[in-house]
């Protein structure tokens, strides 16, 4: 009924954000190879992919993960190296939205 006028999927222009069910699906599909973190120019300290995956969707966010989310600048360098074609930038975006909302509720 309603068309937003945005392309998605394999098209050139992809909306950055994904819904929580999509993020959950991608997190579930993550094989934990760490390639996204290795390709990230914003990651300053060593955080593990399983901690990042665990804290992305729900629950408390630890200081290193929050620091990483704040320094991430959505350049998309993490997407290309993923061997299973996941979108870490979209996962990070949900983490940022969570942080933004939690900051507002304080």
Give me the residues that bind other proteins (CB under 8 A), please.
1-2, 4-6, 13, 15-17, 19-21, 23, 34, 37-47, 55, 59-63, 65-67, 69-77, 93-94, 96-97, 99-103, 105-106
Q: Which is nearer to other proteins, 86 or 91 (CB)?
A: 91
Distance CA 87, CA 78 (A): 8
- Nearest approach in angstroms of CB 1 to other proteins is 6
**Closer of 32 and 41 to other proteins (Cβ):** 41
Yes or no: say if 76 and 29 are a contact pair by the CB < 8 Å rule: no
Please, what is the minimum distance in Å from the beta carbon of residue 17 to other proteins? 4
The set of residues, in sequence order, having a beta carbon less than 8 Å from that of 61 and lying 6+ positions away, is 55, 69, 95, 98, 99, 102
CB 87 → other proteins: shortest distance, Å? 13
- Pairwise CA distance, residues 82 & 41, whole Å: 15
């Amino acid at each position: 009924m309603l068309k937003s006028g945005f392309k998605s999927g394999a098209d050139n222009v992809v909306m950055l954000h994904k819904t929580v069910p999509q993020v959950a699906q991608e997190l579930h599909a993550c094989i934990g190879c760490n390639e996204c973190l290795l390709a990230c120019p914003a990651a300053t300290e060593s955080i593990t992919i399983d901690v990042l995956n665990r804290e992305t969707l729900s629950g408390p966010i630890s200081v290193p993960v929050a620091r990483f989310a704040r320094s991430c600048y959505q350049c998309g360098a993490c997407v290309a190296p993923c061997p299973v074609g996941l979108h870490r930038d979209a996962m990070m975006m949900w983490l940022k939205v969570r942080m933004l909302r939690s900051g507002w509720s304080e």
